[in-house]
Amino acid sequence: MSHLIADVPFISQLEKYPTGCESVSAVMLLNCLGIRITPEAFIDRHLPKGKAPLQGEDGIFYGCDPWQAFPGDPYSRDGWGCFAPALKTAVLSAVKECAEKPERFNVSDQYHLPLPQVVHQYIDRDIPVVFWATIGMAEGRNTLRWQTPEGRQIQWVSPMHCTLLIGYETGPDGEISAYVFNDPTSGALSRFDAKSVEAAYQVQHEQILTIEALPE
């Protein structure tokens, strides 16, 4: 059995938001739920932003915590990326400002769920999932390491990416063989084989974000 969530809007990040994959993925999900907002409004008014990592006189790189804020500028190719708690802060702010009934929407960040559980819990119920992985589901590699003002050590894994999971395909044995995304870099209905998706999910801390519309 395969499943694809229908009528999920697609937005590309390539021209205007070269490192804004988290914001673009979140906006696609918000728009799918009828919450009208643009990537520009999301980035400018809701996304928490901090300092990109820079090397100090002691040779150590220092920057903001991507679990709390986006390091740098999503409009710039020199921006970095943020993780689920920071994006959740932005999504909650956007829902509060833009949704007619904000109380109807439950925003949740979750960690270390097996992908079959993600599929069963969300995709099979037509709930798209903001999904952290790598660009093109490429093999992750450790790159820059930096320290936050609070003393936390950040090990960046490139090429970090965030995308919107909207479906999956199964093989003759009934096992999931591929996942389908509205991917801000690769395009609408981008298909990636299951093994590469699982590996990319693992190297990016196995994190997702969802928005569920509650019954009125």
172 three-class SS: coil
- 62 domain-assigned: yes
pLDDT at 216 over 80: no
Give the residue ranges of DSSP H helices in the chain. Answer: 21-32, 39-45, 84-98, 115-121, 194-203
* Total structural domains within the chain: 1
Q: What token pair was written down for 88?
A: 């959740």
- 5 domain-assigned: no
- 153 domain-assigned: yes
The model's pLDDT over 34-44, given as tens digits with 9 standing for 90+, comes to: 999 999 999 99
Mean of the pLDDT values across residues 42-55? 98
Mean of the pLDDT values across residues 43-54? 98
The model's pLDDT over 74-89, given as tens digits with 9 standing for 90+, comes to: 999 999 999 999 999 9
Query: pLDDT value at position 215?
Result: 83
Look at residues 41, 50, 206, 186 and name the one whose alpha carbon lies nearest to residue 140: 206
The phi, psi pair for 163, rounded to 5°, reads -145, 180
Look at residues 67, 94, 37 and name the one whose alpha carbon lies nearest to residue 148: 67
- 9 domain-assigned: no
pLDDT at 105 over 80: yes
Q: What token pair was written down for 147?
A: 């320290």
> Position 30: which residue type?
L
Pair 168, 157: CB distance under 8 Å: no
- 1 domain-assigned: no
Residue 52 CA, distance from chain mean position: 19
Q: Is the pTM of this model over 0.75?
A: yes
CATH of the domain at 197: 3.90.70.10
- 8 domain-assigned: no
Domain hosting residue 109, numbered range = 14-213
Distances in whole angstroms, Cα of residue 134 to Cα of each of 57, 123, 130, 140, 216: 32, 20, 13, 7, 37
- 4 domain-assigned: no
- 144 domain-assigned: yes
